[in-house]
Chains A and B, each alone.
Chain A
Amino acid sequence: MTQKTLRKGNEALAEGAIRAGARFFAGYPITPQNEVPEYMAAHMADNGGAFVQAESEVAAINMVYGAAATGTRSMTSSSSPGISLKQEGITYLASADLPCLIVNVMRGGPGLGSISGAQGDYFQATRGGGNGDYHIIVLAPNSVEELGNFPKLGFDLAEKYRMPCMILADGILGQMMESMAFNFDPVDPNKIGKFDWAVDIHKNGRKKSKVFSYKGDNLIADVTERAKRYGLIEKTEARYEARNCEGADVILVAYGLSSRACLEAVSKAEEKGLKVGLFRPITLWPFPSKALKEVSQKAKGILVVEQSLGQLVQDVKLAVGDSVPVGLNAYPAGGQPDGEQILTAAKSLLTGKKEGLFDLQTHAEGFTYECKRDLSLGVQGDRKEVK
Chain B
Amino acid sequence: MYQGIRIAGFGGQGVVSAGILLAQAGVENKLNASWLPSYGPEMRGGTANCSVVVSDGEVYTPIVSVPDTVIVMNEPSLPKFEPMLKKGGLLILNSSLVNSHPTRKDIQVLCVPCNQIAEKVGMARVANLVALGAFIKATGAVTLESVAHAMKKVYKRAKPEMLELNQKALQAGFDAV
Contact = CB atoms under 8 A, between A and B. Distances in A.
Is B one of A's binding partners?
yes
Contacts of B60: 260-261, 263-264, 267, 339
A338 B33 contact: no
B34 interface: yes
A7 to B, nearest CB: 10
Interface string B124-168: 000000000000000000000000000001000000000000000
A175 interface: yes
A6 B23 contact: yes
Interface stretch (A43-51, A176-184, A209-217, A279-287): A176-184
A5 B31 CA distance: 11
Nearest to B31: A179
B89 interface: no
A115 B27 contact: no
Given A178-B59, A261-B61, A172 B27 contact: no
Given A115-B39, A178-B33, A172 B23 contact: no
Contacts of B63: 172, 336, 338
Contacts of A178: 23, 32-35, 59, 62
B161 to A, nearest CB: 25
B25 to A, nearest CB: 10
Interface of A: 4-6, 31-32, 115-116, 144, 172, 175-179, 257, 260-261, 263-264, 267, 336-340
B59 to A, nearest CB: 7
Given A4-B27, A172-B36, A179-B27, A338 B61 contact: yes
B23 A177 contact: yes
B62 A176 contact: yes
Nearest to A339: B60
Contacts of B107: none
Nearest to B153: A6
Tell me the interface secondary structure of chain A in the complex. mixed
A337 B61 CA distance: 9
B173 interface: no
Interface of B: 20, 23-24, 26-27, 31-37, 39-41, 58-63, 65-66, 153
B58 A263 contact: yes
A6 B36 contact: no
Contacts of A116: 40
Given A5-B27, A177-B35, A31 B61 contact: no
Contacts of B31: 179
Contacts of B24: 6
A337 B59 CA distance: 15
A144 B62 CA distance: 11
A172 B58 contact: no
A339 B53 CA distance: 15
Tell me the interface secondary structure of chain B in the complex. mixed
A49 to B, nearest CB: 24
Contacts of B20: 6, 177
B40 A31 contact: yes
A260 B35 contact: no
Nearest to A266: B60
A6 B60 CA distance: 16
A267 B59 CA distance: 11
A260 B34 CA distance: 12
Contacts of B27: 4-6, 179
Contacts of A337: 61
Contacts of A338: 61, 63, 65-66
A341 to B, nearest CB: 9
Nearest to A265: B60
A374 to B, nearest CB: 15
Among A4, A115, A176, A178, chain B packs the most CB atoms within 10 A around the CB of A176
- Which 7 A/B pairs are nearest by Cβ-Cβ distance? A264-B60, A177-B35, A115-B40, A176-B36, A178-B34, A261-B61, A260-B61
A336 B65 contact: yes
26 contacts: A4-B27, A5-B27, A6-B24, A6-B35, A6-B153, A31-B39, A32-B40, A172-B36, A176-B35, A176-B62, A178-B23, A178-B32, A179-B23, A257-B61, A257-B62, A260-B59, A260-B60, A260-B62, A261-B61, A263-B58, A263-B60, A264-B60, A336-B61, A336-B63, A337-B61, A338-B65
Nearest to B26: A179
Contacts of A261: 60-61
Contacts of B35: 6, 176-178
Contacts of A32: 39-40
A172 B40 CA distance: 12
Nearest to B40: A115
Nearest to A177: B35
Contacts of A257: 61-62
Among B20, B31, B36, B60, chain A packs the most CB atoms within 10 A around the CB of B60
A176 B36 CA distance: 4
A66 B40 CA distance: 33
Contacts of B34: 144, 176-179
A260 B4 CA distance: 14
A202 B42 CA distance: 54
